[in-house]
């Protein structure tokens, strides 16, 4: 763990949250849908959610590194548009499972697959409807000490250890749960 803390704290009204508010561990990820490391982290996080069940509350915030990943911001906007339609997690998972194709045409295809109003998504992308929300996430990441993706916070403190070793990461999360 590090000295960096999450700013702002998780907000049930604003953040995308999977898992109960009563969970002893809150894992926040700042991620980029086009980042290959985030793509590697995605199935690890999914397995942690499955193993820990109601002991884990998972929160995702956008941190698109647009200079390196030109489709990352529109992918994040598509996820936010999906969230407004009540399908954030479905789109989130689909984007990570299809990282190799995140151009606008592909985003509209994924939207159709998960049951979104594709006309609304196209309008949202064209007008940058969710760009301010993504910038807000990005700025909160910068304030929280995020300097790359994925970046994780466990119960509000930045986790600088390995996330690639799922068993070790699970042990850290279980340790945090026992101290909560």
pLDDT digits (tens, 9 = 90+) for 65-81: 988 999 999 999 999 99
pLDDT > 70 in the chain, percent = 98
Does residue 123 form part of some domain? yes
Residue 25 tokens read as 């561990």
Does residue 70 form part of some domain? yes
Does residue 81 form part of some domain? yes
CATH of the domain at 74: 3.40.30.10
Does residue 1 form part of some domain? no
Asked whether the bond before 150 is cis by omega within 30 degrees of 0, the reply is yes
> What is residue 128's three-state secondary structure?
coil
Q: Taking Cα atoms as reference points, which of 48, 71, 82, 75 lies closest to residue 166?
A: 48
Burial of 40 (0-12, 13-18, 19+ CB in 10 A): middle
For the full predicted model, state whether its pTM sits above 0.85.
yes
Domain containing 96: what range? Answer: 16-179
> What is residue 142's three-state secondary structure?
helix
Q: For the chain, how many structural domains are there in total?
A: 1
């Amino acid at each position: 763990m590090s000295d960096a803390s999450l700013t702002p704290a998780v907000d049930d009204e604003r953040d995308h949250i999977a898992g109960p508010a009563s969970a002893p561990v809150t894992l926040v990820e700042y991620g980029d849908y086009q980042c290959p490391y985030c793509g590697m982290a995605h199935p690890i996080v999914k397995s942690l959610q499955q193993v820990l069940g109601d002991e884990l509350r998972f929160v995702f915030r956008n941190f698109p590194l647009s200079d390196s990943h030109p489709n990352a911001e529109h992918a994040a906007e598509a996820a936010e548009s999906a969230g407004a339609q009540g399908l954030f997690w479905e789109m989130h998972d689909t984007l990570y499972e299809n990282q190799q194709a995140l151009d606008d045409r592909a985003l509209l295809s994924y939207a159709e697959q998960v049951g979104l109003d594709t006309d609304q998504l196209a309008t949202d992308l064209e007008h940058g409807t969710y760009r301010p929300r993504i910038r807000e996430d990005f700025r909160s990441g910068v304030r929280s000490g995020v300097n790359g993706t994925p970046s994780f916070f466990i119960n509000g403190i930045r986790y600088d250890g390995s996330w690639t070793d799922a068993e070790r990461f699970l042990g850290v999360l279980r340790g945090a749960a026992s101290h909560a």
